[in-house]
Amino acid sequence: MKKWYIKERHNPQLGVYYVAKGQLTKKEAKEYENAKYGENTMLSFETQAEYDAKIRALKVQGARFI
């Protein structure tokens, strides 16, 4: 079963930003956590509604999305 994911990226030069990844398998999400530079954290959501709500909340807080 696929969950919905947002990648939280911590880049030493660019700071923190987010990437909406959509539906992924757990294996695919785990692969995104491996960063050669900086750090990635995958935020998971059971439903698309939860995923969309988190994206809206992050944008209201001023988060950057790429």
Q: Can you tell me the distance from the alpha carbon of 28 to that of 14, in angstroms, rounded to the nearest whole number?
A: 24
Query: Which position has the higher pLDDT, 1 or 14?
Result: 14
Boundaries of every domain in the chain = 3-60
Instruction: Write down the pTM of the prediction.
Output: 0.93
Where does the pLDDT of residue 1 fall: very low under 50, low under 70, confident under 90, or very high at 90 and above?
A: confident
Q: Give percent of the chain above pLDDT 70.
A: 100
Is the pLDDT at 64 greater than 90? The verdict is yes
- The dihedral region occupied by 21, where left means phi > 0, alpha psi between -120 and 50, and beta the remainder, is alpha
Is the pLDDT at 52 greater than 90? The verdict is yes
Please tell me the predicted confidence (pLDDT) of residue 21.
98
